[in-house]
Structures are given as C-alpha cells and as structure tokens.
Chains A and B, each alone.
Chain A
Amino acid sequence: MSVALQLVVSGLALGSIYALIALSLVIINKATDVVNFAQGEMAMLGTFACLAALSALKLPLWLVMLGAFPLGLAFGALVERLAMRPLSGGPPINALIATIGLFLVFHHLAGWIWGYDPYRFPSLFSNEPVVVLEARISQASLGILAVSLGVMALLYLFYERTRTGIAMRAASMNRRAARLMGIDVGRVSMTAWGLATGLSLVAGLLIAPLTFLDFEMMVIVLLKAFAGAILGGFNSLPGAVIGCLVIGVVENLFGAYVSTAFKDAFAFGIIVVVLMARPAGLFTRRVGTKV
C-alpha cells in the first residue's frame, strides 16, 4: 500500500510537469491554432541558459528560478514575432512544419553550444524523504507539485482577472469578433507564445534535477504532454492538467506493476482507446458543427 502511495505521488509530480508543458501547448493552440512541436526544446534551451547563469554568473538558485518565467516570456514572444507571425493566415500544415523547423534549430543549437553530455542540475529540494502513512515520499515530488500548482493558480487568475487574460479568452472564442472589439490579435498571439514559453521553462527547471539536463531531455516529455492534453480535450486548460496527471500516475503504476518496456507505449495506447470512445477528449463536451 505504501509503495502504491509513493508511486501515486511521484506520478502526480511527473504529471504536473507534463501538465505545465501541456498548458503551454493548449495556450498556443487556443490563440493561434498551431501545435508547437518546439515547445519542449524551447524549455530545454532556456534551462541551459539558466544553468549557464548559475555556473558562469554565480547567481543563487532561487533568483534564477524567479527569473526563469520572464526569460521564457521574452524568448517566446521573440520567436512568435520573428518566425510564426509571418505564417499566420497561410496553410495550417506550414505552421506545423515551421515549428518542426524550430524544434530542429533549438534541439541542435543546444547540442552545438553545450555538447551532448548530460549535466547535473541543482535542485531546490533536499533528498530527504518525508514519511506519510509509512510511505517515503520525496521532498522533490512535493516541491514540484507545490510549484506547478502555484503556477497554475496564477495562470487561472491571469485568465480570469486581467484585461489581457480576458482579451486572450475572447480571441480564442472568436478571433474575428475579438478584432472588431478592438483586441489586437497579433499581440494576443505574441502574449500566448510568451506565456507558454514561460510556463514550459518552469517545467524545464523542475524536471532537469530529476533527469539530468541534456538536449534530448524534453522530447519524450513533450509527447506525454501532448498525449495528456489530448486526453483532456486539447481546448480545455483544466482538462489538459487533469489529463496529464492521469497519464503521470497511470504510467508510473503500469511501469512498476506490469512492464517497464512498454511504459511509454502504454500511455499512447490509452490515448488511442480514449479517442475511439470519446473523440473530443474526456473533459470537453462535443460541440455539433453548424452546417
């Protein structure tokens, strides 16, 4: 029982990291109808930049952690303005290919600059486990959960309470009407990319101490996040979070009790089954199309 509890908590922690990336994907998709394949790589590159700030400038870890979000914000906004904005209005598959291009650029840029060996990344949390109900739960898992839930709460407030957040929601519902109401849709898409990259950079900083930092780190995380977001319906932010938490827990349990070899394939197996049964995901209602 205590082992199961340990697995569930570490699964939730992993799932919450997937969830941050999934939120990034959904935010960009809602604002621009693009699935950003480069999201994970942008997080990875940003994490490398943070590591450089830690080791070269000798900045304290907490300061780098706080600076990560604004750094991601600027990076994402810049990428949107330079690479993605000119493609808006073109065929959707071209925007998809462009994000694959960005993926390749960032992926190999990191390898080029920092080499292909994994780096150790310092963690804010100590290794000493906390004992709850006889289960030894690592502080890192709890810390990750706390940080990501905190970030998600802030995101919720941003969407509900700020003018920009409300403008972004309006633009995702009906871009044309939003434009007529004076919302700058270009700025919305830039904000979305910035916000998404900020979130995913936080995810990168959280996962790097667990997996070591290297240029391959985020590829599988991105796929899991994508799967989780699909499970939740891809258009719903809370749905994406729940979908990812489910994936994190289920794959942890499957890996421990059934088969490690098929752990990754299993996560995708569920997705196919869910898509067959509920094509719009678990948490979004299917909307009939108007003819």
Chain B
Amino acid sequence: MNRYLWMATIAALVLIPLFVSNYGWYLLAVTMVYALVALSLSILVGMAGQISIGHAGFWALGAYASAIAMQHFAVPFILAIFVGALVAAAFGALVALPALRVSGHYLAIATLAFAILVQQVLFEWESVTGGRQGLAVPRPSLLGEELQSDFSYYYLLLALFLAAAWMTRNLRRSFTGRSMMALRMSAVAAQCAGISRARHIILAFALSAFLTGLSGALYGSLIGRLSTETFSLSASLSFLTMAVIGGLGSEVGALLGAAFLAVAPEVLRQFKDAEMVIYGVILLLCMLFLPHGLASLGRRWIFSK
C-alpha cells in the first residue's frame, strides 16, 4: 500500500505545476524548499530525539555560503548549493558538541544561541555578507542554462527533495537510523548494546544541518536576495512547527508540513490583521486533535476503510 501511496504522491507532485500559474509555481518551489528542512528535522527530532530551535542558523549558513561561493568565486550553481550544505553540516557537527552534554531545554537554548550568533555575525560582517543591504543571489542554472522560471526550478527542487526523502527513508531503515532511534528511546540501553551516543548525535546534527543548509542555498536562489531578517527566531520556530504539524515520523509528513507552512499564510492573508491569530489557533487545534501530525490523518483514513 505504501508504495502506491508514494507513486500517487510523486505523480501528483509532477503534475500539479501544469495546472497552476506563476505564483502557484513559486509557492510549490517554496514548499519544496521547506520540505527539505522538515525532512532534516524528522532526522534530528524524529529519529535522534534531539531538539533544535536554531535551524534558521543552518539555513542562513547554507544560503550565505552558497551565494558567496557563486558571487565571489564563480562556483557553478549546482556545486555552490552543496558548498552551502557542507558548510552548514560542519557547523552542525560543531553544534552537536553541546548536545553531547545537555539535552531538553538546555539544548534548545544552546541551539537558539547558535542561531542568534549566526544572525548577528552575518548582519555585522558587511564586507562579505552585505549586512543591512543584503546580498544579491544569481538565479539557479543547470549545465550553463539559467532556470528563468520557477516552473523549471520547481522540477529541480522536486528532484532534490525526492532524492533527500529517499535517503531519509533508507536512513530510517538502516543500522545507523535504527541506532539513533534506539538512543532516543533509551540512551542507556542503546549504549549498553554498543551504540556510540556521541557518534550518532554528531551524525544526526550534521546530516540535519546538511539538508537545512541545502535548503537555504536553494531558497537564496529562489528569492534572489538575502537579508538577515529572514533568518530570525521566528523562522526557526516555524520550521519546528511545520515538522510537528506534518508529522515527524514520515517523509510524507515532511511534505505536508511544508505545504502547510507555505500555503497557510496565503490562504489566511484575506483576514488581514487576524491572519496570524488564526494561524496560531490552527496550530493549537492541530496539537489538540492531530497530535501525530497531518500524516496521521491519511493513515487514519486508509485504515478506517
């Protein structure tokens, strides 16, 4: 059943852009960008059981590193995004160091501190990052061809997302992924079984930061201009929120959460000042009635038949 669900999802994702126009493509592209972040959180929070309210920091590092690689060092787009991802992953491994010693609320504040530091340094380091003025980012290009429209860019993002989702899925079933889950359930029992806690937590942070950095790099090229305001605490909180709303346990959940984060503000915009109030109420209602996320809705519906 699961395989058919996946095939249907992929078919839908491939076909949807044919039925919408410019702004729709942009929203779809944003959804894919967010979905990578949601995937990264499903590894870190869902599998490894660590918390981060600083993912905007990794997102920013990926975005700025790839933009700078393209602007100053003329690195082609497709390599630059991986430069961004690797820079973020390196910092992810670094942020994992406090995570080895602290957990829960303490880890939350440590990741938060990291994101605030990143944001401030990017803001103040004007010669490299443009600081207050921001930084222009070239459009994405592939094999020398510039992807002018969000329509073509969406398909590139979709391909990257599917690759990442496939890898996350495999990770979940691999020895490494199982080890992370075992550590989440009982660190003591897992360690007694010979699983290295340090190694897996560093790995989970690095992988998670890699995907988020990749997403940041892709986001920069989608938007065309980076400013540090984008990478605030509220971005970190939105990311965590979307991952939980979608459901931390599955790749479809990541996609649903991302779609929620991308589309909900557009739908709610008509309510003007009440927009974010309604958004908050929806969050609360989701937590009350759908504690396992939107992904559990589908499962519930399929199994009730």
Q: Are A275 and B106 in contact (CB under 8 A)?
A: yes
Q: How far is the CB of B16 from chain A (nearest CB, A)?
A: 28
Interface string of B111-129 (1 = CB under 8 A from A): 0111011001100100000
Residues of A within 8 A of B277 (CB): 104-105, 108-109, 112
Q: Are A100 and B98 in contact (CB under 8 A)?
A: no
Residues of B within 8 A of A223 (CB): 112, 116, 233
Q: Are B291 and A90 in contact (CB under 8 A)?
A: yes
Q: Which of B98, B274, B277 has the most CB of A within 10 A?
A: B277
The answer for the CA separation of A281 and B102 in the assembled complex, in Å, is 10
Interface string of A223-265 (1 = CB under 8 A from B): 1001100100010000000000000000000000000011011
Q: Are B276 and A107 in contact (CB under 8 A)?
A: yes
Question: Does A182 sit at the interface, judged by CB under 8 A?
Answer: no
Interface pick from B4-12, B214-222, B237-245:
B237-245
Q: Are B102 and A279 in contact (CB under 8 A)?
A: yes
Interface string of A267-283 (1 = CB under 8 A from B): 01101100110010100
Q: Are A268 and B283 in contact (CB under 8 A)?
A: no
Residues of A within 8 A of B276 (CB): 104, 107-108
B interface residues, how many (CB within 8 angstroms): 41
Q: Are B117 and A269 in contact (CB under 8 A)?
A: yes
Contacts of B247-275 to chain A: CB distance below 8 A: 248, 273-275
Contacts of B77-116 to chain A: CB distance below 8 A: 97-98, 101-102, 105-106, 108-110, 112-114, 116
Residues of A within 8 A of B240 (CB): 93, 96-97, 100
Question: Does B20 sit at the interface, judged by CB under 8 A?
Answer: no
Residues of B within 8 A of A94 (CB): 244, 287, 291
Q: Are A101 and B120 in contact (CB under 8 A)?
A: no
Q: Are A268 and B117 in contact (CB under 8 A)?
A: yes
User: Which residue of the partner chain B has the closest CB to A265?
Assistant: B120
Q: Are B116 and A264 in contact (CB under 8 A)?
A: yes
Question: Which listed residue (B120, B248, B280) contacts A264, Cβ 8 A?
Answer: B120
Question: Does B37 sit at the interface, judged by CB under 8 A?
Answer: no
Q: Are B116 and A265 in contact (CB under 8 A)?
A: yes
Q: Are A275 and B102 in contact (CB under 8 A)?
A: yes
The answer for the CA separation of A21 and B291 in the assembled complex, in Å, is 29
The answer for the CA separation of A90 and B291 in the assembled complex, in Å, is 8
Give the dominant DSSP class at B's interface: helix
Q: Which of A90, A96, A106, A261 has the most CB of B within 10 A?
A: A96
> Which size bracket describes the interface of A in this complex?
35 or more
Q: How far is the CB of B271 from chain A (nearest CB, A)?
A: 10
Q: How far is the CB of A266 from chain B (nearest CB, A)?
A: 9
Q: How far is the CB of A283 from chain B (nearest CB, A)?
A: 14
The answer for the CA separation of A105 and B279 in the assembled complex, in Å, is 8
Q: Are B98 and A275 in contact (CB under 8 A)?
A: yes
Known: A93-B45, A279-B102. A265 touches B288 (CB 8 A): no
Q: Are B117 and A271 in contact (CB under 8 A)?
A: no
Question: Does A102 sit at the interface, judged by CB under 8 A?
Answer: yes
Residues of A within 8 A of B281 (CB): 101, 105
The answer for the CA separation of A104 and B240 in the assembled complex, in Å, is 14
Q: Are A226 and B279 in contact (CB under 8 A)?
A: no
Q: How far is the CB of A116 from chain B (nearest CB, A)?
A: 9
Question: Which listed residue (A86, A262, A279) contacts B106, Cβ 8 A?
Answer: A279
Question: Does B188 sit at the interface, judged by CB under 8 A?
Answer: yes
The answer for the CA separation of A230 and B121 in the assembled complex, in Å, is 23
Question: Does A35 sit at the interface, judged by CB under 8 A?
Answer: yes
Question: Does A83 sit at the interface, judged by CB under 8 A?
Answer: yes
Q: How far is the CB of A206 from chain B (nearest CB, A)?
A: 24
Q: How far is the CB of B65 from chain A (nearest CB, A)?
A: 20
Residues of B within 8 A of A100 (CB): 237, 240-241, 283
The answer for the CA separation of A94 and B287 in the assembled complex, in Å, is 6
Instruction: State the 4 A-B residue pairs at the shortest beta-carbon distance, nearest first.
Output: A104-B280, A101-B283, A268-B113, A105-B280
| Chain A interface residues (CB < 8 Å from chain B) | 29, 35, 37, 83, 86-87, 90-91, 93-98, 100-109, 111-112, 219, 223, 226-227, 230, 234, 261-262, 264-265, 268-269, 271-272, 275-276, 279, 281, 289, 291
11 A-B pairs (CB sep. < 8 Å): A93-B45, A93-B51, A93-B240, A101-B241, A102-B284, A108-B275, A112-B277, A230-B106, A272-B98, A272-B114, A275-B98
